[in-house]
Amino acid sequence: MLASALAGRPLAVAPGKAGDPAWTDGQSIFIDPGASRRAVLESVAVQASLMAAGSFDVQVLKRLSRRSKLVQRYLTIEGHRALLENDDLLPETLRTLADRELASRTDSPQSSVTLAEAKHALAPSPENFGTIRIKKLIAANRRASTEAESEEAQHVPRRTSSDELEEFDDDQIDDSGHPDPFSSPVGGGGLIGKWLKKLLSSARKSGDGGGPPGADAPTSRTNSAKRGAHAVISTARVDPQDTVDVEATGFKYPEWDAGRHHYRPEWCTVREVEPTILASAPQNIDTVIGVRKPLARLGLGLHRLRRQRQGDDIDVDAAVDALVEAAAGSVPHDAVYLETVRRRRDLSVLLLLDISGSAAEPGTLGRTVHQQQLTAAANLTVALHDLGDRVALYAYHSQGRRAVTMIPVKRFDEHLEITFAKRLNSLEPGAYSRLGAAIRHGSAVLEARGGTARRLLVVLSDGLAYDHGYERAYGAADARRALDEARRRGTGSVCLTVGAGTDVSSLRRVFGSAAHATVGQPQQVADVIGPLFRSALRSAEVTRKIA
């Protein structure tokens, strides 16, 4: 857990050869089985922090290739820099490991290589820093690139005109890793996920065809003749950044560039836009499904009861009173304990509803994906509100990085009334889905306005992260990174796909190790929501304790 928390992605720790220094291949950290506990912790902290800091960038590794002395000098400098970048996540006992003076002389892996190449005296790297095996890391990167290229070979875009959206190079590195069985018990490829998938009959086979995933145009899953009445498709054929009047105001968020292993600071602009209520919008919502029962115990916070006959601590005031009564000759009362029970609600939940153009596609039950996601969002909102939890619902779509729109259907402090139903039923799908920016804004709102120690971010989406300059592996990696950022700050993440036919492997690439599930219809949400919420809360609490 420590390795995964520091690396920001699922990472295993395995025994290596006795006497060998610690090293990593990008998927596991290999440790000397005879090393002390302290040495193991230091090696894990250094190797995982190097991964999180982008120290194993392909271009950097090529510069280090066949230069063993330079590798060790680079490891010394970059190891301290990576540790300092992860300082807020390191356990207290490991924070003295980094040489802050040396780390302050570099600000990137490339800068560390340049500094290592300089002819100046440099103390050898500490023994527990381990080593860097260039060939192993380059081979792992090559395998990831080959897998990405094979996936792309199966995808034939429907549009080939010159105004098609700009795409990134095919040699980007996919940092999806392996699914985390601890935080993704449902909807993944493991035994439990496969069993639930079979039980719920939640997966629909995707059709043939092509098209850019997540775009407004028909994709590989659609038949345009079967679109629902609420489907809204954008016909714009040019970059919306050139045509949309984008305000300079808004919330700025970074974006993770997996190909270059660094953030693009203040890259996306998110604006909260007040919802438009259509005159024809229904004023009611579907009957709430049975999600209240599995959610009933999840939001319970700790409550301390005083003057109990049994408990887990002494009630000092009651004990003093009992001693006074005994000294006065009275029979003292034996209720002198404190008992800790879960009674009060202590959970805030923010639901993120995807209303991009791909949600207008036909789903199960003869309804569009959008209609079924609306039903699931309404049911969850009403159930959580009735249980006494703090709940908010935001819808999102985007048209370029400067125009990510968030629509507050219900804020945390707003009452659940007829306005909520009108706003929800007025939402219409269109545009694109810059999922990473929406997740970052949703988690920021949740932290600032949730008002509770336990927080959950619930993403309702078909899993197609796609926008201008935000395609395929790039968008998936940014969404995974945003979910990991939220979990590092103590916010649990749950991702639900309702009524869509997105395959499990595609969802795993987008949602990563976050708890996620695919269900065929809104009524099946009740069957998976309990274990999903529990897993997400537990994962967030573990990460909070490690940090």
For position 86, what pLDDT does the model report? Answer: 85
For position 436, what pLDDT does the model report? Answer: 96
| pLDDT digit string, tens, across residues 383-419 | 888 888 899 999 999 999 999 999 999 999 998 888 8
Position with higher pLDDT, 309 vs 165: 309
Residue 508 carries which side chain, given as an amino acid letter? R
CA distance 363 to 357: 13
Please check the confidence at residue 379 and state whether its pLDDT lies above 60. Answer: yes
Rounded to two decimals, the pTM is 0.53
Q: Please, which residues bridge with residue 396 across strands? A: 354, 406
Q: Which tokens sit at 310?
A: 């049994």
Beta-carbon contacts of residue 164 (< 8 Å; ≥ 6 apart)? 157, 212
67-72, long-range: CB within 8 Å, 24+ apart, which pairs?
Answer: 70/113, 70/116, 70/117, 71/131, 71/132, 71/134, 72/124, 72/125, 72/131
Please check the confidence at residue 117 and state whether its pLDDT lies above 90. Answer: no
CA distance 479 to 443: 13
| pLDDT digit string, tens, across residues 2-11 | 888 888 777 7
Among the listed ranges 143-147, 218-222, 334-338, which one has the minimum average pLDDT value? 218-222
CA distance 396 to 541: 27
Among the listed ranges 13-22, 185-194, 360-369, which one has the minimum average pLDDT value? 185-194
Please check the confidence at residue 96 and state whether its pLDDT lies above 60. Answer: yes
Dihedral sign, CA of 13, 472, 480, 46?
A: positive
Residue spans per domain, the chain: 2-140, 191-202+276-290+346-546, 300-345
CA distances, 494 to each of 9, 34, 227, 450, 484 (Å): 16, 39, 28, 16, 12
Q: Stretch 472-501: mean pLDDT, rounded?
A: 91
The pLDDT-based confidence of 191 (bands split at 50, 70, 90) is very low
The pLDDT-based confidence of 143 (bands split at 50, 70, 90) is low
CB contact at 8 A, 314 and 303 = no
Please check the confidence at residue 546 and state whether its pLDDT lies above 90. Answer: no
Surface-to-core class of residue 185, CB atoms within 10 Å of its CB (0-12 exposed, 13-18 middle, 19+ buried): buried
For position 353, what pLDDT does the model report? Answer: 96
Residues of the chain above pLDDT 90, percent: 28
Closest to 362 measured CA to CA, from 470, 235, 213, 501: 501
Closest to 299 measured CA to CA, from 116, 450, 476, 443: 450
Please check the confidence at residue 429 and state whether its pLDDT lies above 90. Answer: yes
Dihedral sign, CA of 152, 157, 160, 161?
A: negative
CA distance 285 to 292: 16
Beta-carbon contacts of residue 167 (< 8 Å; ≥ 6 apart)? 471, 472
CA distance 325 to 87: 53
How many alpha carbons fall within 13 Å on the CB side of residue 493? 28
- The CATH fold assigned to 191-202+276-290+346-546 is Rossmann fold (3.40.50)
CA distance 208 to 296: 42
Residue 137 carries which side chain, given as an amino acid letter? L
Ramachandran region of residue 201, left (φ > 0), alpha (ψ -120 to 50) or beta? left
Between 418-426 and 369-387, two packed helices, what is the crossing angle to 10 degrees? 160
Backbone angles phi, psi at 152, to 5 degrees: -65, -30
Where helices occur in 53-190 by DSSP H, the ranges are 58-64, 68-85, 100-103, 109-117, 134-153
Q: Stretch 63-76: mean pLDDT, rounded?
A: 85
Q: Which tokens sit at 383?
A: 């159930």
For position 408, what pLDDT does the model report? Answer: 96
Residue 297 DSSP one-character state: T
Surface-to-core class of residue 542, CB atoms within 10 Å of its CB (0-12 exposed, 13-18 middle, 19+ buried): middle
Please check the confidence at residue 248 and state whether its pLDDT lies above 60. Answer: no
CB contact at 8 A, 172 and 258 = yes
CA distance 293 to 339: 26
Q: How do 454-460 and 515-519 pair as beta strands?
A: unpaired
Q: Which tokens sit at 274?
A: 């007040």
For position 496, what pLDDT does the model report? Answer: 92
Please check the confidence at residue 162 and state whether its pLDDT lies above 50. Answer: no
Closest to 80 measured CA to CA, from 97, 57, 60, 56: 97
The pLDDT-based confidence of 477 (bands split at 50, 70, 90) is very high
149-157, long-range: CB within 8 Å, 24+ apart, which pairs?
Answer: 152/472, 155/210, 155/213, 155/220, 156/210, 157/210, 157/211, 157/212
| pLDDT digit string, tens, across residues 293-303 | 566 555 444 55
Q: Stretch 42-47: mean pLDDT, rounded?
A: 91
For position 344, what pLDDT does the model report? Answer: 57
Q: Which residue has the tokens 């034939």?
A: 156
For position 145, what pLDDT does the model report? Answer: 60
| pLDDT digit string, tens, across residues 334-361 | 888 887 665 556 889 999 999 999 999 8
Surface-to-core class of residue 396, CB atoms within 10 Å of its CB (0-12 exposed, 13-18 middle, 19+ buried): buried
Query: How many of the other CB atoms lie within 10 Å of CB of 368?
Result: 24
Q: Stretch 137-158: mean pLDDT, rounded?
A: 56
Q: Which tokens sit at 190?
A: 């493991």
CA distance 378 to 397: 18
Gyration radius from the chain CA atoms: 26
For position 374, what pLDDT does the model report? Answer: 92
Closest to 464 measured CA to CA, from 441, 495, 486, 419: 495
For position 528, what pLDDT does the model report? Answer: 85
